[in-house]
Structure 1
Amino acid sequence: MLLMPSFQILSELRCSPSCTRGIILGSEPICPPDCFQYKGTVDVFLKVVRQEGFGRLWRGTNAGLALAIPTVGIYLPCYDIFRNKIEDFTRSNAPGLTPYAPLVAGSVARSLACIACSPIELARTRMQAYKEFQPGVKPPGMWKTLLGVLSPHASSSQNVQNYRVLWTGVGAQLARDVPFSAICWSTLEPIRRKLLGLVAEDGDAASVLGANFAAGFVAGSLAAGVTCPLDVAKTRRQIEKDAQKAMRMTTRQTLVDILRYVFHIL
């Protein structure tokens, strides 16, 4: 059984000022345990709104936009370039490998995008995990969040290695996003070709849009279902407040700890 000091337990249970269910213990408002237990997506929405306000549902939007632009700018052009190059090469040299071009192209393109944009992903995750405890205190923005990640190492002379902390969780992110892209694109492309073949050349815009939507829905759902545990592992690593501990954490160990906890509560 894991035991924590009483002050640490109280710190973890501190209630935000806007929560209507908090109780006063000493000088601190404390949330009941069920405030931190989520039963589903709708339950998360309701508790975030109740505890922190409706506007907090958009926390991290600026970091999300800052992440989306370079990620898409790297990911999609690289995917098209790599897929075309691989398809041209395999048609001439190994026709049997041509169907695997989307899988390889998606994996490589996503790897490049993940590595380049990992610090912004870290900031976005930390911003969304931030819980407001003091009234009138504005949650930190993207740059302040990144500076907060670096600040424990600011006095060290190993400045180059200190910046590695900005890539905390990049291994778990690659373990999530690379299989996601591989599954998504290798599933989406053949489904889309099949559906567009059924629509035929005289299909209207709505039919083409429907075919693309259906292919994307099936491929995205399958990829998301397979890689969801890795997304949980990535988030656990990126919200870890102890930078040294976060650097020592591995994706495998994080997944083992999560599964152990799940089996324990079951």
Structure 2
Amino acid sequence: MAESERTQNPWMNTEQTAAVEIDRQGSLPSELSVTDRDGTGKAGPQPQTSDGELGIAERAVSAAGAAFISAVIVNPLDVAKTRLQAQAAGVAYSHPLSNLTNRMAYSGPNSMFADLRCSPSCTRAGIQGTVSICPQDCFQYKGTLDVFYKIIRQEGFARLWRGTNAGLALAVPTVGIYLPCYDIFRNRLEDFTAKNAPITTPYVPLVAGSLARSLACATCYPIELARTRMQAFKVTQIGKKPPGVRQTLLGVISHVNSTNGVQGSLQSYRVLWTGMGAQLARDVPFSAICWSTLEPIRRKLLSVVGDEANAASVLGANFSAGFVAGSLAAGATCPLDVAKTRRQIETDPARALRMTTRQTLMEIWRDGGMKGLFTGVGPRVGRAGPSVGIVVSFYEVVKYVLQKHYPTS
């Protein structure tokens, strides 16, 4: 384990690893024996500063900081991806005039004579009676950049960060569970496989990533449900504040109660985990592909730096490896992401609880074919690559700094 740790983290004290001797069976000695700095040749056990000795608190702080930064930076791409997938699933992004009853109830009957263009600067509006109305394609998204343009023009620049509070509420605990658990599972499994089944060691990142992601997903799933619904549905009533995480989840529960006529039933709370199967079906292979790709890339990059590793090289190697691994994993799992989004925005509680991931994928294939399965792949890949790079590199740099300034014994 010492050699694999040093390959992954070459900033480890070289004097602590230079004299590690491995016996013919491949087992490691219980204590590290190193030559004393004064050159006397005296050897003795020395403390080892390694990735494996960081506590759970340090790992969680590192991961939470990384998640915070990533959630803020890449949120617009997440909004674009969700809008494109929701539109393909049948969510209508139309003008408030299509909901004229609600508009009149809010502003009074005179509101029907207002200027109902998609934005004050739109020159494509036609006159219907006394009302200026934009054509329908003003409200149809044609691609990632078109989503950005129309959200900024119709809803305001700040709407690109719709769901950021949910993203932060989700990312910090999720990643705070995910990355530390991945580290712990990987270290334990590498120790176990090195002693008992060395041939399976290359598969350790795949298994550790899958287990850690499953645990994190099951713990924080209702917030993920709220974020998807917040990003998918836009508020058309003028002057009304969009609902937050709590209001969104309460709205889901109240809709189930009103449909079933039963208050406080178990089913009304079960709906908060609607689509978790699709989420796991997406996240487990994503993590498996991501970590099994990321580990060899970053180890190779860090081995080039060797003993000269510093914070900048650790940042660069981990960001590059994370960017490549995240992009590949996001592209490969896009169909499962489309299924996850479709299940989370389902408005019929009975159908939401009845549908399975396989049925949803078949429905997507029937409606849109291969193009439907890869709806939103551009913003998904554009989001996942930088996101994984930011999270992993920030996490590893913070660990590096903690190891330098607060070595454990």
TM-score, normalised via structure 1 length: 0.87
Structure 2 CA distance for aligned equivalents of residues 114 and 245 of structure 1: 22
Measured after TM superposition, the shift of residue 67 of structure 1 is 0.3
The higher-RCO structure (CA 8 Å, 6+ apart) is 2
Measured after TM superposition, the shift of residue 29 of structure 1 is 8.2
Residue identity in the other structure for 1:84: N
State yes or no: 1:251 paired with 2:357: yes
Q: 1:28 and 1:122, CA in 2 relative to 1: closer, same or farther beyond 3 A?
A: farther
Structure 2 CA distance for aligned equivalents of residues 122 and 196 of structure 1: 38
Residue identity in the other structure for 1:15: H
- Segments of 5+ residues of structure 2 without an aligned counterpart are 1-90, 97-115, 373-409
Report which of the two structures shows the higher radius of gyration computed on alpha carbons. Answer: 2
Question: Which position in structure 2 is the counterpart of 1:181?
Answer: 287
- Segments of 5+ residues of structure 1 without an aligned counterpart are 1-10
Structure 2 CA distance for aligned equivalents of residues 163 and 143 of structure 1: 13
Measured after TM superposition, the shift of residue 262 of structure 1 is 2.2
**In the alignment, is the contact (CA less than 8 A) between 2:163 and 2:230 conserved in 1?**
yes
State yes or no: 1:131 paired with 2:131: no
Identity percentage of aligned residues: 70
**In the alignment, is the contact (CA less than 8 A) between 1:48 and 1:56 conserved in 2?**
yes
Structure 2 CA distance for aligned equivalents of residues 106 and 220 of structure 1: 13
Alignment deviations for residues 107-154 of structure 1 (CA, whole Å, 9 cap, x no partner): 010001111111000001111112121111111111000000000333
Task: Identify the structure with the greater helix proportion.
Answer: 1
**In the alignment, is the contact (CA less than 8 A) between 1:18 and 1:51 conserved in 2?**
no
Give 1:74-223 correspondences, 5 Å limit.
74-154=177-257, 155-156=261-262, 159-223=265-329
Measured after TM superposition, the shift of residue 207 of structure 1 is 2.9
Structure 1 CA distance for aligned equivalents of residues 289 and 173 of structure 2: 22
- Partner SS for 1:201: helix
Could you say what the CA RMSD is over the residues aligned between the two structures, in angstroms? 2.5
Structure 1 CA distance for aligned equivalents of residues 275 and 252 of structure 2: 13
Give 1:66-77 correspondences, 5 Å limit.
66-77=169-180
Q: 1:264 and 1:193, CA in 2 relative to 1: closer, same or farther beyond 3 A?
A: closer
Which stretch has the larger CA shift, 148-157 or 173-182? 148-157
Q: 1:117 and 1:135, CA in 2 relative to 1: closer, same or farther beyond 3 A?
A: same
Question: Which position in structure 2 is the counterpart of 1:231?
Answer: 337
State yes or no: 1:15 paired with 2:95: yes
Measured after TM superposition, the shift of residue 263 of structure 1 is 3.8
- Partner SS for 1:240: coil
Structure 2 CA distance for aligned equivalents of residues 140 and 77 of structure 1: 32
Q: Paired residues, what number?
A: 256
Which stretch has the larger CA shift, 206-215 or 115-124? 206-215
